[in-house]
Amino acid sequence: MPIPAGGIITAGQLSRMQPATFLAAADTNLVRNNTTAAADIPGATVTVTTTTANAVYTVTAAFDVQIGAAGAGNIIGYLYVDGVADAGVAAKRMDAVTRDTIAQVWRGTLPAAGSHTFKLQGQTSVATASAGNIFTAGSTKLSITIAEVV
């Protein structure tokens, strides 16, 4: 709702006029050896509380990944919002003994006010027995900007 000329602005409206930002980094490596299943990246989770319906989020994620010596495969990163996978993935075809950073950007709307959880998940496309198929701690990051309706 726009603020009319000469209208009275409330403290709540003022606080929603600036975007809120959040950052989380993986605090433990997510190891994906011997499996192709996706799993939560430990620490790469943010819970936010919005005060209005239809808040807009923009998420940027950087997945710092490496694949072990036993083979090549795809590394895939996902964003989950309130338990549902958002459209689009971060994906990279990697050769054996490779480390890289892959990124993705998502944008969407939170239809209801309240608590919302954003989290990153990761997986590999092939199950390999080698050590080293990981999403690395400290360098895998989730950045969120929330813009609420005034």
> Per residue in 34-50, pLDDT tens?
888 899 999 999 999 99
- Specify if 41 maps to a domain: yes
| pTM metric for this prediction | 0.88
In this predicted structure, the answer to whether residue 76 has a pLDDT above a threshold of 70 is yes
Q: Return the minimum-mean-pLDDT range out of 18-27, 101-110, 127-136.
A: 127-136
Please state the φ and ψ torsions of residue 119, each to the nearest 5 degrees.
Answer: -150, 155
pLDDT at residue 2 tops 70:
no
| CATH code at position 112 | 2.60.120.760
Which range of residues forms the domain containing residue 130? Answer: 23-147
**Of residues 53 and 72, which shows the higher confidence score?**
53
Average pLDDT over residues 68-80: 84
Q: Is residue 45 part of a domain?
A: yes
In a domain, 12, yes or no: no
Percent of the chain topping pLDDT 90: 61
* Mean pLDDT, rounded, for 89-97: 88
Would residue 66 count as lying in a domain? Answer: yes
pLDDT grade, residue 16 (50/70/90)? low
Give the model's pLDDT for residue 109. Answer: 97
Look at the chain and report how many structural domains it folds into. 1
Average pLDDT of the residues of the chain: 89
For residue 114, tell me if it sits in a domain. yes
Residue where the block lists tokens 């944008």: 107
Q: Is residue 10 part of a domain?
A: no
Collect all residues with Cβ–Cβ distance below 8 Å to 16 and sequence separation of at least 6: 51, 52, 148, 149, 150
Residue 118 lies in a domain: yes
What is the CB-side half-sphere exposure of residue 113 using CA atoms within 13 A? Answer: 8
CA dist 10 and 97 (Å) reads 56
Which pLDDT score is estimated for 126?
75
In a domain, 61, yes or no: yes
